[in-house]
Amino acid sequence: MIREADGRTCLRIPERAMQIALKVDVDTRVGLECGVPRLQQLLGERGIPATFFITFGPDHSGRALRRLFRPGFLAKMWRTRAVRMYGFQTLLYGTLLPGPLIGSAFPELLRSLARHGHEVGLHAWDHVYWHDRLPGLSEEAVRAEFRRGVEAYARVFGHPPASSAAPGWTCTAHSLAVQDEFHLAYCSDARGWTPFRPAIGGRVYRTPQIPTTLPTLDELLGAPELGQGDPVDCLLARLEESRLNVFTLHAEAEGRGYAGFFADFLTALQERGATFRRLDEVASELADLPCHELQRGTLPGRAGWVALQGERLA
């Protein structure tokens, strides 16, 4: 570990090229069906591995419109051109239109990702349900919902997932406890700066967290305080040579309307000599992790709360 000037401790990266992990969240049917093949092409052309987290159950994106009453959500929809990004049909799924299955409907596409060198983990069974309802669910209800995703994953791959990433970086004490029961190698449920073991209310959980360290594209587009100008330049300015950099992208965005941005970002990273890591490879090297409190907080450019890496516990 190394100690930063602000007192935070970080996982030390050996003296080699800058380390980048690409975490791809797949939230919707259109993201999987249209965005993932494009991302697979962009990554394959460059020989870059990534970690894909898949939603396996129904696409209930239309139900997310209940978030219109949350501060900042409508502004986010406008600045990210959500209707154009997702398509009008997607915004009706789960309300006026039935929600079609996402990952469970494309088993061969998911197996193709694994055959081509990518890691495939579990994002959720029902993305909107987890993101919007998790804080009010009992541990039993969380267990049932998480198990549905695990079982759907196993039907595609013949084995349970080794990793999971919470929709919208939404997690609770109940969800951390349930994840521990499934003996995952790691989770990526939080925003932070270095891998850690999470704690809530004095309880330390077993499953390591590998947090997202960089702002997402939609955050950059909607928060002037994150930096003006080209999003690629804004991200490059935030890269750290001495720690693992984790960038979360979305198949619905970088795999479709913002594919040009993503291609430019990959090119810039390669020109810098970056090394690309799968998150499971990073997890296999983790040892003697510090414990950090997992807290709720907000981020510039993002509506609602997310799980944030907090202070290190003594």
**pLDDT by residue (tens digit) across 296-309?**
999 998 888 999 99
User: How many domains would you assign to the chain?
Assistant: 1
Question: Would you list the DSSP string of the chain?
Answer: -EE-TTS-EEPPPPSSSPEEEEEEEE-SHHIIIIIHHHHHHHHHHHT---EEEEE-SB--GGGGGGGGGSTTHHHHHHHTTHHHHH-TTGGGBTTTB---BSGGG-HHHHHHHHHTT-EEEEEESSHHHHHHHGGG--HHHHHHHHHHHHHHHHHHHSS--SEE--GGG---HHHHHHHHHTT-SEE---B-SS-BEEEETTEEPSS-B--B-S--HHHHHH-GGG-SS-HHHHHHTT--SSS-EEEEEETTIIIIITHHHHHHHHHHHHHTTPEEE-HHHHHHT--SPPEEEEEEE--TT--S-EEEEEEEP-
- Percentage, residues of the chain above pLDDT 70: 84
For residue 6, being part of any structural domain is answered with no
- The whole domain housing 308 covers 16-312
Tell me if 119 sits within 8 A of 278, measured CB to CB.
Answer: yes
For residue 1, being part of any structural domain is answered with no
88-92, 232-236, 283-287: the lowest-pLDDT one: 88-92
For residue 260, being part of any structural domain is answered with yes
CA-CA-CA-CA dihedral for 149, 250, 214, 262, to nearest 10: 150
Confidence of residue 226 (pLDDT cuts 50, 70, 90): confident
List pLDDT tens digits, range 110-132: 999 999 999 999 999 999 999 99
For residue 11, being part of any structural domain is answered with no
List pLDDT tens digits, range 22-73: 999 999 999 999 999 999 999 999 999 999 999 999 998 886 655 444 555 4
Would the pLDDT of 14 be above 80?
no
List pLDDT tens digits, range 258-286: 999 999 999 999 999 999 999 999 999 99
CATH number at residue 208: 3.20.20.370
Would the pLDDT of 238 be above 60?
yes
For residue 295, being part of any structural domain is answered with yes
For residue 8, being part of any structural domain is answered with no
For residue 2, being part of any structural domain is answered with no
For residue 9, being part of any structural domain is answered with no
- The predicted model scores a pTM of 0.89
List pLDDT tens digits, range 152-173: 999 999 999 999 999 999 999 9
Which pLDDT does position 74 carry in this prediction?
45
What average pLDDT does range 212-229 have in this prediction?
Answer: 86
Amino acid letter, 201 = G
φ/ψ region of 81 (left if φ > 0, alpha if ψ in -120 to 50, else beta) reads left
